[in-house]
Amino acid sequence: MLPQAIREDHDPPRRLMDPVTFIMRGLNPLVLLRWTTFRCPHCQAAFRRDYLPHKVRLGRGMHICEQCGKIFDDGAREWPQLQWSDKARCLLPVPLVGVLIGTLLCSFIALHLAPRDEVNVEVVVAVLGLALVPAFLWWIIRVPQVFRSIHRYENEPRLIGTDR
């Protein structure tokens, strides 16, 4: 079994997250910045930084450190190895869900405020279709990655003990 990459979460200091402090500092969005650094378990060299707390990464799960040349488990998994919840997070990451909820909510409000004689089925379909554009754009990128992951899983040999 390969050693796991070291995960370090970097969150803004709690005093900056206090609502009163947040408002007094002029709603500075930088105080909300958080990231995760992944390090080699052998030499502690950073090899990746993510800005989503639990980003689902597709891949073989092995990484060769550029500093020390040793192999370790980087946390990536192939599509067939993922649980249902991870597959859902892969196709609908948290920021995309927020954008979808916001655009759908704005669409429903706009349709509700529009004069009744001007709203018909075609208008509703067009407005809701436009609200779903961010998801379609994301899926155009992500679905081919899923198919490549399935192909890799079925056709490439895996190390013993790395298949979860």
Q: Are residues 83 and 151 in the same domain?
A: yes
Q: Are residues 91 and 72 in the same domain?
A: no
Decide which of 76, 91, 125 is a domain's last residue. 76
Instruction: Quote the domain boundaries for residue 124.
Output: 79-156
Burial (CB count <10 Å: 0-12, 13-18, 19+), residue 72? buried
Bigger pLDDT: 162 vs 50:
50
Q: Does residue 162 fall inside a structural domain?
A: no
Task: Write the pLDDT tens digit of every residue in 89-144.
Answer: 999 998 899 889 998 888 888 888 878 777 788 888 888 888 889 999 999 999 99
Decide which of 23, 42, 76 is a domain's last residue. 76
Decide which of 28, 45, 76 is a domain's last residue. 76
Indicate the average pLDDT of the chain. 84
- Residue 18 confidence class, pLDDT cut points 50, 70, 90: low
Q: Does residue 163 fall inside a structural domain?
A: no
Residue 164, pLDDT score: 45
Residue 160, pLDDT score: 47
Max Cα distance, the chain (Å): 69
Task: Write the pLDDT tens digit of every residue in 46-75.
Answer: 999 988 878 899 999 899 999 999 999 999
Ramachandran quadrant class, 85 (left: phi over 0; alpha: psi -120 to 50; beta: rest):
alpha
Burial (CB count <10 Å: 0-12, 13-18, 19+), residue 81? middle
Q: Are residues 114 and 53 in the same domain?
A: no
Q: Are residues 132 and 111 in the same domain?
A: yes
Q: Are residues 85 and 56 in the same domain?
A: no
Number of domains in the chain: 2
